[in-house]
Chain A
Amino acid sequence: MNPPDGDDWISVTEASLSAQRLTSWASRPDCGAVVTFCGTARNSSTNGRLIEALEYDTSVELAELRLGQVVAVARAKWPELVAVAIHHRVGLVNLGEPAVVIVVSSPHRQAAYDASRFCIDTVKSFVPMWKREVWEGGSAWSEEAQDLLRLEDL
């Protein structure tokens, strides 16, 4: 997967994510802050089961469309942002692997921290994505689901 020409990098992919690669891409001479967030597959769920893996389902086209809208809203809220990347896995994600990586760079840290937090919170409530928890002998959709927000809610 090659970096885009512009400063937004959106991807929904079955391939492993590299936080290091995205962080390097977002590091620019005019940026004093690069904030990298990794949402990783953990072994416990809200119902106490020992999770062995997560499996994500989506429509790649619709998810990428909405990730692009997340970035656009973040840029409107924090105009000083320079590079913004949001990459999300689909399919099976093993424990410890990142299911989502968000990287935001800006001249100063406050905007980068705030925008990073906005992006992950918004990914969880605005992007069509469904997490299935897989354990020994079974699987079920995550009980942490949230009602899907509309663009005007952001």
Chain B
Amino acid sequence: MARILLLGPARDAAGRRHDELPGRTVGEVLDAAVARYGTDFGAIVRVSQIWLNAEVVGVDEALGPHDEVVVLPPVSGG
């Protein structure tokens, strides 16, 4: 299982901020998240940047036991 952190609009679409999902890679965890939260969440993932902990990664990145996948939709700070 891998931890996932959902921020801003991704949190709203999923109805939660944290979760634990199955997957050996970032892509597998995101697929599991879309299966769990639905197509609205999937649409947000498609336009989001994905981090592993604090680093930008691709979907093929393998996960370690303490890693956290972070979904970051387009931002609107300031």
Contact = CB atoms under 8 A, between A and B. Distances in A.
Interface stretch (B4-12, B21-29, B30-38): B4-12
Interface residue tally of chain A, by bracket?
A: 20 to 34
Interface string B24-60: 0000000000000000000000010101001010000
A126 B72 CA distance: 11
A128 to B, nearest CB: 5
A98 B57 CA distance: 33
B77 A129 contact: yes
Nearest to A125: B75
B5 A144 contact: no
Interface residue tally of chain B, by bracket?
A: 10 to 19
A100 B75 CA distance: 15
Contact of A146 (B5, B11, B56, B75): B75
Which among B7, B9, B70, B78 has the greatest number of chain A C-beta atoms within 10 A?
A: B78
Contacts of A130: 7-9, 73, 75-77
Nearest to A65: B54
A142 B56 contact: no
A100 B49 contact: no
A121 B20 CA distance: 35
A111 interface: no
Given A65-B54, A130-B9, A100 B77 contact: yes
Contacts of A88: 77-78
B65 interface: no
A123 interface: yes
Interface stretch (A3-11, A17-25, A28-36, A53-61): A53-61
Task: Please provide the 6 A-B residue pairs with the shortest distance between their CB atoms, ordered closest to farther.
Answer: A129-B77, A130-B8, A145-B74, A142-B76, A131-B76, A124-B78
Interface of B: 5, 7-9, 11-12, 47, 49, 51, 54, 56, 70, 72-78
